[in-house]
Structure formats: C-alpha cells, structure tokens
Structure 1
Amino acid sequence: CCSDLKGLVNCKVACLATLNQLETFCREEGAICRDLGISKYNLCDYEVEYLCSYKRDIITVGDKQIEKEFYLVKWKGYPESMNTWEPRKNLKCTDLLSQFWEDMMRELLRLKKRSIPRKLDSAIVSHLVQRANLRRTLKMWENHLNSLGSRKGRIFVENLVDMEGPPRNFTYINDYKVGEGISLNEVAVGCECMDCLNSPVGGCCAGASQHKFAYNSVGQVRIRPGLPIYECNKRCSCGLDCPNRVVQRGIQYSLCIFRTDNDRGWGVRTMERIRKNTFVMEYVGEIITTDEAERRGQVYDKEGATYLFDLDYVDDEYTVDAAHYGNISHFVNHSCDPNLQVYNVFIDNLDERLPRIAFFATRLIKSGEELTFDYKMQVDPVDAESTKMDSNFGLIGLPGSPKKRMRMECKCGVATCRKYLF
C-alpha cells in the first residue's frame, strides 16, 4: 500500500486478464493500445489464430456448380463469436493449414474413419479446437523456458499424444535451489594456469584434488564413470573458454520435451547429433536432507513419481529433489540400456557431500533419439583411487531413498529390460 497519493505513481497491481484477453477487449471496443501493439493502422487487421473446422460446400458460379473448401477461422484478438467461414483461397497461413490437416487426419484415423466427411461433426471439431488451444499453451510454455537464462541450444515442447499441458506445480530453474538448513561453501582458491589442458600448474584444479584432468581438447570426458570431475572455478585465472569448464557452460544442444505414447509421461529427445562422451545436461533440483527425502519419497511412490536423486559421493546426507523445482532433466526417462551416464562434478563448491550431477553421452546419440539414464546404475571399482566413491555409487543413480521403495514396473521396452525400476 502507498501512504500518500504521490506514492501511487509507482504502484503496480497484477492484472487478472491475460494479454490475449486484453487485446480482444481493446479490439472489441475499438481502443488503441501501444503496449499491446494495437494502433489505428492495424486495429482492423485480421490474423488467423487457429482453424476450428472444415467443410465442403457446393456453390453456384454462373451456370456451374462447384465444390469448394471452407475453414472456420478463429481470429487472433477477437472472441469466438466473431469466427467466420473462409474459402481456402483467402487463407495464406500455410503452416496453420498443414497443422490443422495433420490434427484432423490423426483424429479421423483414431476414429477409424476411412474418408474425409463433407462436414466435421461436433465431437471432431471440439477435439481440433482443444488441440489448437493446447498447442498455443505449450508454445507459451516453450517461450517461457527459453527466456530463462542463456543457453546455446533451444528447448522445444511437443504433445501429439493426449491433451496434457505444462506440468502443474513445477518451476523451471537452471541451478540448485538450496533447502532450509543447507549451505553451499564456495571454493577459496583457484588455479593459475595459462593453459589448463596442455600446461596445468600442479595438475590444475583436478590435480590439486589429487584426481585426473577429466576432458580432452574438444570437451569429451576421458575418465571412467565413478571418478569425480573437478572443473576450474570462479577463483581461477582462466576464462570461460577454458577446456576445463564444460558442465558450467550449460546445455549446448537443442532438446525437445515431448509426450511419450507408451504411458511414460513426458520424455526428452535431442534435436541434434550428440557425440560420445559429450556433456548433455545437469540434474538440477532442490537440495534436501536424506531424512526429508525419505518423507517425500513415500509420497512420490504413491503418485508413481521418481524425482529424488541421492548425493552419496562420500556420505548419504543429501538428495536432489526435482519434483517441483528442476530443469529439463526433470523430464528424462529411465532405460535399462541408457545413452546417458552420471558423473559427479565439483566446481565452485568442493564439499564432497554436495556434488553436481552431470549427464554425459555413453555413445553417439542420433538426432531425434530419446535421452535416457538408468535410475539404478552401478559402477564397479577398478582401482584403489575410486574405492571411496564406489562404495556408495551404486545408489547415486537411484531416484529416491533406497531404504523403502514400492516396486515400480519398468516401461523402457529395451531387450535387456529388468522389468522393474526398483
């Protein structure tokens, strides 16, 4: 509240209407609004928002009768009461036309209709309108995801399976959300290398922690799964282009969140070819204690959800919960034959109880292929150096507390499927 009238100048109140609703209202009232992009020059412009229906009518032209196609158009910025039937020649929206026909043919196939009717019945029309509105909603969510932070690749969203929209009670974040009573201690020192890869001083950051340099010259991980990765940090003298700064540069590929057609909910596939041993994404969420994870895990089990990821590099004290706060990894599904492998990464925080969880490609991943990791992956120790980590690493890929889990059916569908997640 403002204490005086002068203070009201800087007051702002959230509007209950959406921008689309405001634009519709302005056009109905003939009002010009600079913020909504409505001027006297485009006040009466008509832009197709989506196509609602289709029919074929016989019209008379001179002494001839001709069959013509008509589409029911929802105009952007105008209410549905102002929808109009337009002949095909009036429509220049080729993408919307292609999308309408794709949706219509998919629905006719589902209904086992062998021919295109002259006029669509109300049930089909309702389905097409719902799908058009769903696509608009998902596009808005897609734009929102891409507005958060900077990344080289773009996130796409697609649902061709059902009418499920963006997940409710989920907030997209790009970095850890630290839970109550937990603190991340920043690193106090960094390297002074001029060339961290070829001329590391004291072995660079990895050597200072008595571990191997993790990457080759093109950023591919070259140490075996089970060994930790120590990247250069904010205290180091090298820049962001340093070969030892891979995970912290973020997602480099365009990825698609898509609705699966075999009851696995949402999934993620790559829109680009990904080389073997290349960093793909981090598992990001809320850091909580294992006691809190145990409590939440029992709730998630009843919902059939798996978003808890144990951080047990040395001690089983903390867990990452991506159920309500997370990044694109929230949507990555399990597979008994995965193409992603987990590595523990330390950058600005060297607390061995709180590693960052990074996914690297286990093999060449083709464009369009779904990304998966094993929720119950195991890593066998091969040398004394990694014994400390491997003693608990078998639990690291298991989302949720390993103590009391309901048995969940696996739907990955690979030949080597274990049939159950837990």
Structure 2
Amino acid sequence: MYPKCLLKFYWLLNLSLSGTLSQSSECKVACLATYDQLEVVCREEGVKCQDLGVNKSNLCDYEVEYLCNYRKKVINVGKTQETKELYLVKWKGYPESMNSWEPRKNLKCTDLLKQFWEDLTCEMVRLKKRTVPKNLDASIVSHLVQRAKLRQTLKLWENHLNSLGSNKGRISVQNLVDMEGPPKNFTYINDYKVGDGIFLNEVAVGCECTDCLESPLNGCCAGASQHKFAYNDLGQVRIRPGLPIYECNRRCHCGPDCPNRVVQRGIQYSLCIFRTDNGRGWGVRTMERIRKNTFVMEYVGEIITTEEAERRGHVYDKEGATYLFDLDYVDDEYTVDAAHYGNISHFVNHSCDPNLQVYNVFIENLDERLPRIAFFATRSIKPGEELTFDYKMQIDPVDAESTKMDTNFSLTGLPGSPKKRMRIECKCGVPKCRKYLF
C-alpha cells in the first residue's frame, strides 16, 4: 500500500497531465497507484474526479464493495429480547478504516449477501462445523475477506481478457477451490507472437469465387492447394483429422460471411477458465452446447525454433510444464510455446478421451512449416463440460497426408528414451486413462 502523501501526489500529477489542472500534455508519467486506490484518496479528500467517476452527486454515496464479517447481537426491546444480525461492510471507494457494522435491513446488496453466505457455508463445511457461531473466528473472517478480494482480482482479469478481442464468445473466470489468482508472467494474446528470426509470409493470391461452397472456382482456396473443401454449410469440419484446412484469405473476393472462413472468426462460444479440484491447476469448460465437428479455439503462443524449444524444454521439464507444441506438419523446424504468451487454450487440460481434435489450418500464411493449430469438437459437448485434448494425439494413418498430423505436445526439448524422461502422472480420470501423460 502506498503512503497517503504519495497517492495524493500521483493523483494530482495525473490530473495535471490530463489537462484538468494544466493545459500541458506533452509528457506522460505512469501512476504507481491503482484506480481503486486513487478513488479512495479522492473520497477521503472530498475531491471530484471525472476520470475516476467521482462527482458531486456520488461523492458521499456508500456502495457495498463486499461483506467482511457477520455476528448476532441480542438487544432488549421493551420487556423482550431480539436477535439482530449485523454485517461488517467494506464500502466501495473508501478505506478499510471506514468499514462499519450494518443491520441486515440496511443492505440492499442481494447478490453480495448470497455470495457471502455461500463462502461462509463452504468454510464451515471445510472446518466440519455444523452451526454458525454468534461471533465468527478471526481465521474464518480472514478467509472470507481473502475470498472477496480474490473474486475482485479475478473479475478484473476477466474484464481484461474480454477487452482484448472481438470474439463472439465471452470468457469468465472462476475459482471456488483455493486462493490462486491470475497466472503470473503470462500475457494473453489472440494471435501468434513471432520469435526472433522467424517470418510469416502473407499469401499473394486469393480466390475469385462468388459462392465458395456451392460454386467454387478451381476448387476455391482448398482446391488451388490440391486439397478438399473442409467445411459444410454449418461451418462443421467434414474432412478427416490429419488433412489440412485451407481457408479464404484477405486477398479473396468473398466476404466475411464466406463459409470457408471459420477459424479466422475466432471463438464463438462463451467459455470459463476455472480452478480444478483435483490438482490439475486451471481448466476450461464451455458455458453453452457445442456441436460436433465445430471450431472451438486456436492454440496460440510464441513461435520459436526447435533449437530454442529444446533449451526451454529442459527448464519446463523440471517445472512439470506442458506448453510446447511442435509444428511438425511437414518439417520439425518450429514450435509454439504458450507458457508465457497464449490465449485461453493455455489453460486446456489433457485427457486420454478428449472432446477436442487438432487440425492444421492455413489462412494468410501458406508456409506448411507454420500452420495455425485449431481445435474442433470431436463430439457434442454439453454446457459445463470441461474441454480437453490429447497431449499424445496419434492420427490413424489412413493416407500419407494424415501421418503428418501426430502431435508431440510438450515433448520438445526432452531428448532420450521415455525411460530417461520424468514421467508425469495423468489425472484425467477417464476409464481408459493411460495413467501417465508421457
């Protein structure tokens, strides 16, 4: 927490740089305080700030941020005694020193009350206590406050994730298991981050079709590459795993609604990043039904050379990390590393019986050494079901083309025979689990 004088200084500095106190805007200085901290200072000092949403009409408003504590108090009413329920309230925009005990009738925050009792009930069950005491133990109060603050932190992260792209689907974040917050040293991206010495060459030509599905000229983009058209009229993939997908690109005459533009439209489903309860860290579940063979998400990360992947692999092996994905469609030259840069696929767990299948996709770049990695549903997926893929996927070699599509997820940089590698226990829990990831 920054000293009050320092907060006030940076708040005044921000105002001056934005032109509120001065017309000069030739330089900018990053503020060390957060917006929430600055809002607290404004309200303490009785100062209005348009950028922070503190104005004359709400300067003295009191909004419940979260509930910290609960107790029952017996009071005398005439000749009878009544039990009064009180809640300790943290007020939004005000320091914790201004927390106050409020009777239930004064609180209009139905959702926060419900959340408070859910947290309290879960903690009582964990402690194997049957009834809520009149006064909560300090340890229980500390737990409730930590959960409230964690929920705020995760909500801020959730808002940040959804602000980065224009995907139809929304990402939510939930942790009902422990106190783990957003991952550290991880930057969310929606497209490949190209490493040093690697270049993505844009496609030079596009199709001239007026209807790529019904009347493709020269087979449209897929046919020009001597491959099959990948999708049906519902956008579902209709080719075997192992065969490549060639979508229309920015040089094509067709528009954004072309049926041969699926992966490039981004995530279409609302998904949830959630904390697993069996030691698998974070996972991803769908919040709505996903039809079989439909596109779900891309595997996005930093494109690096296999030499760099081998170096990083030794480090990741010691940490038990699994984020390296070989781009070995034709040659084993490049790898996608999603350890520190990635999208929601960074959080997708392994299963020996997965509901996602990997396809190699080419859109703006036709270099077969650098495909995009797309996940399609292998079956109908119900709302609330976790999304998974097989880290050791093997494609049935129906033809020569499909043999190019085996994945070596996270094995890059781990030389030697399997006996020399650190075996990682599989926790997917399916009946046909192989017991070990590698």
Matched, 1:362 2:413: no
* d(CA) in 2 for partners of 1:121, 1:320: 49
SS at match of 2:236: coil
Does residue 393 of structure 2 align to residue 393 of structure 1? no
Describe the superposition over 1:171-198 as per-residue Cα deviations: whole angstroms up to 9, x where unpaired: 0000000000000010000000000000
Moved more, 58-67 or 267-276: 58-67
Q: Quick one: distance in 1 between partners of 2:199 and 2:23? A: 39
Q: How far 1:36 moved relative to its partner?
A: 1.1
Q: Does 1:31 align with 2:43?
A: no
**Structure 1 residue 394, shift from structure 2 partner:** 2.3
- Structure 1 residues 202 and 350, CA, compared in 2 at 3 Å: closer, same or farther? same
After the TM superposition, which residues 7-406 of structure 1 pair with which residues of structure 2 at under 5 Å, given as runs? 9-384=25-400, 386=401, 389-390=402-403, 392-397=404-409, 400-401=412-413, 403-404=415-416, 405-406=421-422
Deviations 1:342-373 (A, max 9, x none): 00000000000000000000000000000000
TM score, norm. by length of structure 2? 0.92
What do residues 304-337 of structure 1 show as CA deviations (whole Å, max 9, x unaligned)? 1100000000000000000000000000000000
Q: CA deviation at 1:7?
A: 10
Aligned-pair CA distance for 1:398? 5.1
Amino acid at match of 1:374: D
Aligned to 1:10, what secondary structure does the other structure show?
Answer: coil
Q: Give, in angstroms, the shift of residue 395 of structure 1.
A: 3.2
Q: Distance in 1 between matches of 2:236 and 2:410?
A: 25
CA distance in 2, matches of 1:24, 1:12: 23
Pick closer, same or farther for the CA change 1:301–1:399 going to 2, 3 Å: same
Indicate if the aligned counterparts of 2:89 and 2:100 stay in contact, CA closer than 8 A: yes
Counterpart code for 1:281: M
Cα pair 1:395 1:402 within 8 Å, conserved = no
**Aligned equivalents of 2:375, 2:356: Cα separation in 1:** 6
Give unmatched runs, 5+ long, in structure 1: 1-5
* Distance in 2, Cα, partners of 1:148 & 1:77: 26
Is the contact made by 2:274 and 2:285 (CA closer than 8 Å) also made in structure 1? yes
Query: C-alpha separation between the residues in 1 aligned to 2:433 and 2:255?
Result: 44
Q: Give the TM-score normalised by structure 1.
A: 0.96
Write the distance in 2 (CA, Å) between the matches of 1:296 and 1:302.
10
Instruction: Tell me how far 1:255 sits from its aligned partner.
Output: 0.2
Aligned partners of 1:376 and 1:398 also within 8 Å: no
User: Could you tell me how far 1:49 is from its partner in structure 2?
Assistant: 0.3
Q: Which amino acid aligns with 1:104?
A: L
Distance in 2, matches of 1:412 and 1:81, equals 46
Separation in 2, partners of 1:243, 1:30: 57
The code of the aligned residue for 2:242 comes to: G
1:63: Cα distance to partner? 2.6
Please tell me whether the aligned partners of residues 377 and 398 of structure 1 are also in contact (alpha carbons under 8 angstroms): no
Would you say the 8 A contact 2:323–2:410 is kept in 1? no
Contact in 2 for aligned 1:142/1:156 (Cα 8 Å) = yes
Q: C-alpha distance in 1, partners of 2:242/2:118? A: 46
Look up the equivalent residue of 2:412 and give its one-letter code.
Answer: G
Amino acid paired to 1:395: T
Task: After superposing the two structures, state which structure 1 stretch, 27-36 or 71-80, moved more.
Answer: 27-36
Which runs of 5 or more structure 2 residues have no equivalent in the other structure?
1-21
CA-atom RMSD in angstroms = 1.3
Secondary structure, aligned partner of 1:358: strand
* CA deviation string 1:42-84 (max 9, x = no partner): 1110000000010111112233210111100000011111100
What secondary structure sits across from 1:9 in the alignment?
Answer: coil
Q: 1:256, 1:268 within 8 Å by CA — same for their partners in 2?
A: yes
What amino acid sits opposite 2:108 in the alignment? K
2:426 corresponds to 1:414: no
